[in-house]
Amino acid sequence: MENRKIGSLDVSIIGLGCDNFGWRLDYDRTVAVVDAALDAGINFLDTADIYGGTESEEFLGRALEGRRDRVVLATKFGMKVDEQRQGAKPDYARRACEDSLRRLRTDHIDLYQLHQPDPSTPIADTLGALDELVRSGKVREIGCSNFSVEQLREAKAAAGQDARFVSVQNEYSLLHREPERGVLAECKREGLTFLPFFPLAGGMLTGKYRSGQPLPENTRLSKGSPRFLNDKNLAIVEELANFAASRGHSLLELAFSWLLSHPPVASVIAGATSPEQVQDNVKAAGWRLTPADLAEIDKLAPAA
């Protein structure tokens, strides 16, 4: 599989999102998905301390014992674990890192990400603590998530000579193109890597959801009323699926390959609940879209 750079890290262009581990998947099913990812050439695994109520990290640490050196391991901190564990104050950043290292059964985290901005803590304070973690060898690179252009610029100015963010992980898909309003351009200007999460818009871009057809059972969208499931998006999905089919590809291939056509994007982080989904995700990354393709896609799924 093709690799791209996140700072000094070489990562597979399809990553494994580990948010299902510990709540949708038990340990044995987690191992099956991790095994399938490694067998398929995925080396970039992305989790967070809050996923599965911290069990995602626990499961992942157990599953990677004896093969930690085969992966680039990313995790996040800052969202609420409980009343005592949340935010980005320096002392908590240090504690959260130690907690993640213990759960992941490793001596270092390859990419340690601030999961969201903390308005109660100056970013310079957080970056100072993260710089200490980098200098100590406990963290190789640092990144952020859910940051705006203004917050990225504030972080750059605050970093000075200390470690600085090399990546930003925000939501991005054919049905959610908000990063095109500034964050992607900022990434290009500053040499930041962009990591899209929710690349399949909660499942809408898998090809399972089509106009006039009943919702498939036992899926996230069939169990609630998420924001992507509406007539407008179903109509867009239909157009995109027809476009992909006319060129001999699937909607899934279009969703991933379109994201990878944007230069700042290093890896598409995709969750999976089975080995088969992992294999499908990996196969979806091989379509090289032409400028004409991209122009047509813009007409079918315009940026709002």
Catalytic residues: 51
CB-side neighbour CA atoms (13 Å) of 147: 31
d(CA 13, CA 287): 13
Long-range contacts of 85-88 (CB under 8 A, 24+ apart): 85/49, 87/118, 87/120, 87/121, 88/114, 88/117, 88/118, 88/121, 88/123, 88/125, 88/126
Answer whether 252's CB lies under 8 Å from 286's CB: no
Q: Helix, strand, or coil here: 236?
A: helix
Parallel, antiparallel, or unpaired for β 9-12 and 268-271? unpaired
- Output the CA–CA distances (angstroms, integers) from residue 238 to 24, 78, 204, 274, 285, in the order listed: 29, 38, 10, 26, 20
d(CA 87, CA 92): 7
93: Cα separation from own chain's centroid? 20
Element (H, E) at 185: helix 183-190
